[in-house]
Amino acid sequence: MTNSYLWWQKGVIYQIYPRSFQDSNGDGIGDLMGIIQRLDYLQSLNVDAIWVSPIYPSPMHDFGYDVADYTGIHPIFGTMADVDRLLSEVHRRGMKLILDLVPNHTSDEHPWFVESRSSRDNPKRDWYIWRNPAPDGGPPNNWLSFFGGPAWTFDEKTGQYYLHQFVKQQPELNYRHPEVLPAMLDIMRFWLDKGVDGFRVDVIWLMLKDDQFRDEPPNPDWDGVVPFMKLQHIYTQNLPGVHDLIRQMRRVMDEYDERLMVGEIYLPNQELMKYYGQNYDECHLPFNFQLINLSDRMTWKAQTVRQMVDAYEAALPQEGWPNWVLGNHDRHRVATRVGPAQARVANMLLLTLRGTPTTYYGEEIGMENVPIPPESIQDPPAVNQPELAHLIGRDPERTPMQWDDGPNAGFAPAGVETWLPLAPDYTERNVAGQETDPTSMLNLYRALTNLRRSEPALSVGDYTSVSAPQRGESRGADDIFAYLRSVPNSDRFLIVLNFGSKSHTLDLSHVAPQATIAVATDMIRSGPVDLSNLSCRPDEGLILRLD
C-alpha cells in the first residue's frame, strides 16, 4: 500500500548547511566534494533526501542567501561539475537532492540589480522595489528589516530608496513586474532539467508586498526585545496575491515527474494551510515550524505538544500532507532548547509523527549550540545588533559537523582555521565515537529511521493521540504524550513519550493488553511489556509494537 505514496511523503529529509558539513580542500569551509565524501554516512542514516542550503555565487553577506547568480556555483563550494557529480552520486544511492531557491531577493551584486541601480530609466529598474524618499528625506515608510534597522536603503546615485527585508545587500525583487516571475521560473527549469528533485523555497510567504506601501501598524503584543517585532507585518508578509505566484511556480514543478516544492513559511495553522493551495496547486509541503518554535524547556511540554499536533492534524486540508521540523540553520539547536536527554525524545517524536520529517545536520548526534566569542560573530543580525546576539545570532547552530575526535573534528584538515569555531565538547560528541556505542544518539536515530522505513504504519499510517492515565488513576499523566500509528493489514505502533524528569507507571490497557518494545530512547530496553502496568522512566520514549 505504501507504493501509492510519493518519495517525499514516505521519506526523511536531511538539511545540510554546506559551509559546515565537510571541508575537502582545507579552506576551513565545507564544500560539495565534502558532501560527496559523506554520502555513505547519509545513506547509513536512512535519510531519503538531502536539502542543501545555497551554494550559488554570493558575496556571502547572508552566507549564500544573497545570490549573485542563480545558475552558477560559488567557487568555495566547487564547480558545476561537482554538482553534477553530487547529483549522480545521490541518485546512485537511491536518494534525492533538494536545492535552496531564493526568489524573494538577490544579492546587490546580481547583474539584475547592478543594472537596476544604474539609472532610473534602466529597463531593469522596476525589477526591484524603488521608492522616493519621504518628504523629510527619510525612508518611504516604516517597514523594518528582520536583521535590524529600516527595510530601506538610500541609493545616492539615483536618489531613491530600495527595499530589503534582510541585509541591505539583499534587495527585494518586484513580483509585480511582469518579467520577474518568468525569469525565476526559467531558473527553476534550469535546475529541474539537470535532475534536481526539488526546492526549498526561501521566505516564500514574503514574495509580494503592499502596492500602496502603507505603514505597518504597531504590534500591541511587542515584548520590547527584538525591534523587528515592533510592527504587525501585514503589508510585507502573507499577502493574498502571493498565492498566485506560488501556483505559477508549482505549475513548473508539475512539468516534471515527482519533484518537491517545500515553502519556508512561519505562519499559524490557519494561514499556513492556505499554502497547500485551494486545489493542492501550491506547495507540496508548507514547512511546519511549530516544534522549532518551542524554544526552551518551559515550552517543551507533553500537553503543549499534544495539543499542537492534534490542532495541526485537525487543520490540515483533506489531502494536505503533513510535515515536521525540529531544527534548522536559523534556530537554536534542539538539544540546546530542550536538553540532551529530551533531544532523544524529540528525535523519536519527529520520526514517529505522521508527515515528512526534516532533520538538521548534527541533530542525529545531539549537537548543541556552540558559544561564539564576540570577535568571531559572523551572522548579520548578530553583527548589527550585538546586544541581541545571544538571542538572535545564528552562528551557534551553524558550526562544523563533529565527525571524530581528531584535529578540527574531522571537518577540516589539521591546522586549518574553521570558519566558525568547533564545539568545545567535540572530542566527546562526534560521529565516530557514537558509531561504536550501541546506545548512542546516532544509533538511536538509525533505529528510528530504519523502523520508520520498514513499517508502513510509521511512514504513512494514521495518527491518533491516546490518553495515558497513571496506573490506578483516571487522570492522564501530564508529562506523557502517547499516540497510535496504524495502517490496515500491518502492525500498529503505540508511541509513549515522557517529556518530564519523573518516572510514571501508566495504564494503557485501553489500547491493548500488551506490546513489545520496538525502540526505546535508551537503546537498551526491549522485550514484551504489560500495558496495564507500563513504567516510563524519566526522559524516556518508547515505540511499542502492538500484538
- How far does CA 425 lie from the centroid of its chain? 25
List the interface residues with ligand NOJ, window 252-311 (CB under 6 A): 264
Binding pattern to ligand NOJ, positions 4-43, x when CB under 6 A? ----------------------------------------
Kindly state the smallest distance separating residue 21's Cβ from ligand NOJ, in Å.
16
Q: Is 166 in the site for ligand NOJ (CB under 6 A)?
A: yes
Print the binding letters for residues 74-113 with ligand NOJ: x by CB under 6 A, - otherwise. Answer: ----------------------------x-----------
SS3 content of the chain, % helix, strand, coil (to 5): 30, 15, 50
Task: Give the separation between CA 30 and CA 153, rounded to whole angstroms.
Answer: 32
Quote the least distance from Cβ 295 to ligand NOJ, whole Å.
16
Element (DSSP H or E) covering residue 80: helix 80-92
Task: Kindly state the smallest distance separating residue 165's Cβ from ligand NOJ, in Å.
Answer: 8
* Residue nearer to ligand NOJ on the CB measure, 62 or 539: 62
Grid cell in block for residue 214: 502603507
Q: Which of 164, 209, 329, 504 binds ligand NOJ (CB under 6 A)?
A: 329
Closer residue to ligand NOJ (CB): 202 or 216:
202
**Complex with ligand NOJ: residue 325 or 343, whichever CB lies closer:** 325
C-alpha cell at 446: 538509525
Q: Which of 330, 435, 478, 522 binds ligand NOJ (CB under 6 A)?
A: 330
Beta carbons within 8 Å of 81's beta carbon, 6+ residues apart: none
| Separation of alpha carbons 482 and 328, rounded Å | 26
R_g (Cα) of the chain, nearest Å: 24
In the complex with ligand NOJ, the residue whose CB is nearer, 203 or 338, is: 203
Instruction: Order the strands of the 96-101 sheet from edge to edge.
Output: 285-286, 260-263, 198-201, 96-101, 49-52, 13-16, 356-360, 323-325
- Least gap, CB of 261 to ligand NOJ (angstroms): 16
Is 64 or 476 the residue whose CB approaches ligand NOJ more closely? 64
Q: Which three cell numbers stand for residue 529?
A: 511489556
3-state secondary structure of 183: helix
Shortest Cβ distance from residue 321 to ligand NOJ (Å)?
Answer: 22
Rule CB under 6 A: is residue 384 a binding residue for ligand NOJ? no
Q: Are strands 462-466 and 504-506 parallel, antiparallel or unpaired?
A: unpaired
What is the rounded distance in angstroms from the CA atom of residue 540 to the CA atom of residue 223? Answer: 35
Helix, coil or strand: residue 534 = strand
CA angle (105, 110, 113) in 5-degree steps:
75
| 202 forms part of the interface with ligand NOJ (CB under 6 A) | yes
Q: Is 164 in the site for ligand NOJ (CB under 6 A)?
A: no
Q: Which of 264, 368, 479, 540 is catalytic?
A: 264
CB 58 to ligand NOJ: min, Å: 11
Residue nearest ligand NOJ, CB atom distance: 65
User: Is 395 a known active-site residue?
Assistant: no
Query: What is the C-alpha to C-alpha distance for residues 454 and 484, in angstroms, rounded to an integer?
Result: 17
| Residue 453 contacts ligand NOJ per CB under 6 A | no
- Whole-angstrom CA distances from 14 to 38, 47, 85 are 13, 6, 19
Number of residues that bind ligand NOJ (CB under 6 A): 9
CB of 340 to ligand NOJ, least distance (A): 25
Partner residues linked to 152 by β-bridges: 163
Q: Is 62 in the site for ligand NOJ (CB under 6 A)?
A: yes
Active-site annotation, residues: 202, 264
For ligand NOJ, the binding residues (CB under 6 A) are 62, 65, 102, 166, 202-203, 264, 329-330
